[in-house]
């Protein structure tokens, strides 16, 4: 009898032990699956990964510059920055495209590209365009000039993607080669449209430019389209003053001080102005010095450059003003989302 029971118990254990072990393994695996992601991704970094802010984008552009040396036209850094923008656009539902172009400087040919993305719906004959240049100067992280504008534009595109179908088509552009003379990226784009017999250029109701929106000694600057207040080298196109007032009304509604800033500086808006497209934009300052009046309005240091690191290696993430970036990002987002629905304020 004892031998019989021993053999029977051995058989029972031989069957039960693997089952118990299998159940234990399933339980451990299930628990690991529940807790694994939280333990692998620190809670502090998870929001940054899931829903980056404009400043989070700046961190990535800084990391790209650190790895590649800079983000200048024609470099691996520019390509890496472009791929980041394209990846972010794809995440929020846009289909982007590259527009390649070539240009000559001092007898040498260069190739670069713009990145374009637009809403799938909206009036084709009433396009609102927003742009910022993606390239920077050599040997600089180029964070204020102009990762700041590129980052703010990504945030505006993200907010717009969460709205219902817009009434007006909205087109976002990240320009290449702005740091070269005559901004060949935007120049190529406008000339290409102007040569189109279908009148594509006439369909652009407004172009809004954002170049340097996080200066450390900042002002909240709005492109000055008031012909009576200055003598522009370029004639101010019809509709530009309405764009200026659109931004100033927005700032006034929030008790946010602002100043009018130069119309004539050579950036990506120039090609649009030359073709008579209504233009506006925002700017927090370059190497021009801050006035006492501006220091009283916005704080900071009077008689010092608005951005002392302009076009230097010091234009990095430690030398940008997050408050200026936030104010301008909100204004750019407001422009994209509001004008997508109703552009009558620009008429």
- Tell me the catalytic residues: 178
DSSP assigned state of 132 = E
User: Which H or E element spans position 77?
Assistant: helix 76-91
Contact 261, 212 (CB under 8 A): no
Angle subtended by helix axes 240-253 and 322-341, to nearest 10: 120
Contact 91, 193 (CB under 8 A): no
Distance CA 120, CA 122 (A): 7
Distance CA 249, CA 235 (A): 23
Closest alpha carbon to 275 in 240, 237, 242, 239: 237
Question: How far is CA 179 from each of CA 49, 72, 133, 147, 318, rounded to the nearest angstrom?
Answer: 30, 8, 9, 13, 22
Distance CA 330, CA 306 (A): 21
Query: In this structure, what token pair is assigned to residue 238?
Result: 């019809």
Contact 285, 215 (CB under 8 A): yes
């Amino acid at each position: 009898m004892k031998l019989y029971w021993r053999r029977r118990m051995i058989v029972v254990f031989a069957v039960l032990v693997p089952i118990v072990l299998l159940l234990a393994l399933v339980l451990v695996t299930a628990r690991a699956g529940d807790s694994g992601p939280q333990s692998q991704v620190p809670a502090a970094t998870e929001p940054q990964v899931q829903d980056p802010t404009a400043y989070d984008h700046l961190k990535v552009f800084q990391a790209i510059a650190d790895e590649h040396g800079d983000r200048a036209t024609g470099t691996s850094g520019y390509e890496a920055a472009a791929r980041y923008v394209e990846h972010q656009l794809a995440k929020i539902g846009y289909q982007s495209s590259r527009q390649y172009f070539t240009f000559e400087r001092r007898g040498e040919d260069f190739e670069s590209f713009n990145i374009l993305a637009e809403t799938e719906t909206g009036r084709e004959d009433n396009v609102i365009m927003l742009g910022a240049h993606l390239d920077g100067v050599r040997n600089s992280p180029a964070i204020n000039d102009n990762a700041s504008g590129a980052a703010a534009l990504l945030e505006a595109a993200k907010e717009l993607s969460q709205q219902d179908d817009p009434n007006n088509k909205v087109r976002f552009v990240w320009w290449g080669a702005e740091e070269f003379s005559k901004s060949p990226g935007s120049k190529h784009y406008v000339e290409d449209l102007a040569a189109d017999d279908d009148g594509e250029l006439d369909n652009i109701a407004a172009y809004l430019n954002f170049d340097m929106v996080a200066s450390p000694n900042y002002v909240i600057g709005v492109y000055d389209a008031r012909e009576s207040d200055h003598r522009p080298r370029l004639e101010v196109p019809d509709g530009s003053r309405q764009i200026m007032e659109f931004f100033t009304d927005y700032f006034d509604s929030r008790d946010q001080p602002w100043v009018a800033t130069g119309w004539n500086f050579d950036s990506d808006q120039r090609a649009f102005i030359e073709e008579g497209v209504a233009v506006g934009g925002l700017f927090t300052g370059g190497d021009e010095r801050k006035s006492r009046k501006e220091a009283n309005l916005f704080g900071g240091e009077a008689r010092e450059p608005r951005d002392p690191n302009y076009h230097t290696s010091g234009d990095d993430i430690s030398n940008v003003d997050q408050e200026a970036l936030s104010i301008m990002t909100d204004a750019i987002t407001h422009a994209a989302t509001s004008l997508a629905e109703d552009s009558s304020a620009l008429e």
